[in-house]
Amino acid sequence: MEIFILVVTLVFELAIAVYSLVTKQIRSKIKSWTRIALFIGFMMLILGKVIVWEYTWGLFAGLLFILAFKEMVALLRKQTHTPRYKAFSTVWKFLLLALSVVVTLVPVLLFPQYRLPQVTGPYAVATATYSYVDKNRIEEFTDQDDHRSVNVEFWYPEQADGTYPLLVFSHGAFGIKTSNTSTFTELASHGYVVVSIDHPYHSFYTVSEDGKVVTVNPEYLQDFSNANIKGVYPLGKFFELNQKWMKLRTDDMNFVIDTILEQAEQKKDSVYERIDTQKIGVFGHSMGGSASVALSRERDDIDAVVNIDAPFYSELVYDKVTNELTAKSEAFTIPLLNVYSDDVWIQLDSSSSYLPYIANRIANKSFKGAYNVHFKGAKHLSLTDLPLFSPILANLLQGGKANIDKYYAIETQNELILRFFDYALKNQGQFAPKATY
């Protein structure tokens, strides 16, 4: 619809310009009525809900209104003189107006309207946001002696008829806590309390309860970019950075879980009253998936893990003498579901030389009990909601368009994660996923 609106508007403006060049007229009733009709037609599409009104349409709607208002004034005003016709002026005005149309439609093209993924559970879902301040940690990304503050958002059954397992999510390298909102909503609708964490200075941006905005740290962003380009950093530096990032992530997750468990005991809030503190699962996308696997090694109260397209950084060992990375040999005994895109799946063969995925290899006996699922045709961000609300950004960030239907990918993944947690945390049914979807 967004592209259609763009093309129609440009075609009409081009027709107006051509008509002006052919007739050698600057002002004409045809031009005036055409622009008025464009605005009226746009408003009818909104009123008819063919276009779902969002703030992203604001600039374009404002442009159409200004053009229509200007032409209405021109129709009502008596002309005392006829402006002198200039072909160059007509062409220049068309080009300027065409550019204005494109610019005002950029927000809509970047964030087009889309349908929400299917929610299949019986519970209506409510949300809540909180900011937790860790009195035991000083923020390492600032020069001030501020305590680290972590922002979280909950998705939970609005009407409770008992308590529900707690699921803790960690976003990707520079993602945001709402990166997998469709997943959280689907899980909550089936009786889970889901909390997603914004890792300050790792997340693209985060907003605290008092309105403070924190954006991604430029040095971290640069280090992460360099670490993912072979040969930029020595292997030792690469290992050191990833272990540093894992510690920050797991410290945040530990702090959030401990805070929630403490609040759940006191039952001070309707969100915490709904939590079954004896059943905890963790999951995450990309670096968040890595942190989830790492955290499950640290805590004995985590009962299930879902890793979405991430390497097991915490399972790597670096030998300074030989300058090599190897995988730990300790058996992983917690139920684990690995969901992989094409981008990662090709790294899991034993012949792959990409070192971060050594521990993920299917042949790794320490993870022989893990469930491994491959979404054929998917790219890294296909396993988040980003391709739904901004296909252009998703394609740009992941280096191209995925060869899988975006709704099939996210809805099937949501179903798998739900079935896995049902099996691992609620002892409901069996879990036997296909190897490839």
CA distance 204 to 379: 20
Same domain for 14 and 140, yes or no, is no
Q: From CA 195, how far away is CA 152, in angstroms rounded?
A: 6
pLDDT of residue 396: 92
Distance between CA 99 and CA 159 in Å, rounded? 50
Q: Is residue 116 part of a domain?
A: no
Q: Per the domain annotation, does 14 fall within a domain?
A: yes
Can you tell me whether residue 18 is helix, strand or coil?
Answer: helix
pLDDT at 104 over 70: yes
Q: What is the mean pLDDT of the chain?
A: 91
Domain residues for 166?
125-426
User: Is 56 in the same domain as 186?
Assistant: no
Give yes or no: residues 136 and 106 share one domain.
Answer: no
- Quick one: 313 and 411 in the same domain? yes
N- to C-terminal Cα separation, the chain: 30
Q: Which residues contact 89 (CB under 8 A, 6 or more apart)?
A: 26
Q: What is the pLDDT of residues 162-216, one digit of tens each?
A: 899 999 999 999 999 999 999 999 999 999 999 999 999 999 999 999 899 999 9
Q: What is the mean pLDDT of residues 143-160?
A: 92
For residue 421, being part of any structural domain is answered with: yes
Same domain, 72 and 157: no
| Same-domain pairing of 420 and 326 | yes
For the cut 70, the answer to whether the pLDDT of residue 82 exceeds it is no
pTM of the model: 0.86
Task: With respect to residue 250, please indicate whether it lies within any of the assigned structural domains.
Answer: yes
Strand partners, 153: 129, 196
| Residues present in the chain in total | 437
- Residues 269, 286 contacting (CB under 8 angstroms): no
| 187 or 42, which is more confident | 187
117, part of any domain? no
Q: Are residues 328 and 405 in the same domain?
A: yes
pLDDT interval class at 360 (50, 70, 90): very high
- 8 A C-beta contact, residue 187 and residue 194: yes
| Any domain includes 139 | yes
CATH number where 178 lies: 3.40.50.1820
pLDDT at residue number 238: 92
Q: What domain count does the chain have?
A: 2
- 433 in a domain, yes or no? no
Contact 235, 318 (CB under 8 A): yes
Q: Which residues contact 229 (CB under 8 A, 6 or more apart)?
A: none
User: Among 49, 83, 110, where does a domain finish?
Assistant: 110
**Residue 177, CA distances (Å) to 153, 167, 184, 199, 390 in order:** 7, 13, 10, 8, 16
Last residue of a domain, one of 61, 85, 110: 110
CA angle (204 as vertex; 200, 206 as ends), nearest 5:
50
Which value, in Å, is the radius of gyration of the alpha carbons in the chain?
Answer: 27
Rounded percentage of the chain residues whose pLDDT exceeds 70: 96
Domain boundary among 110, 140, 158: 110
Which pLDDT band, with edges at 50, 70 and 90, does 52 fall under? confident
* Amino acid 379: pLDDT: 96
**DSSP letter, residue 306:** E
Task: State the residue for tokens 């998703």.
Answer: 394
Buried b (16+ CB within 10 A) or exposed e, 78-114: eeeeeeeeeeeebeebbeebbebbeebbebbbebbee
Query: Can you give the pLDDT at residue 231?
Result: 81
**Structure tokens belonging to residue 279:** 């059943």
Longest dimension (CA), the chain: 90
Same domain, 20 and 58: yes
137 and 81 together in one domain: no
- Contact (CB, 8 A) for 342 and 378: yes
Per residue in 27-37, pLDDT (tens digit) is 677 788 888 99
> Has residue 88 been placed in a domain?
yes
Of the ranges 58-67, 115-124, 259-268, which one carries the lowest mean pLDDT score?
A: 259-268
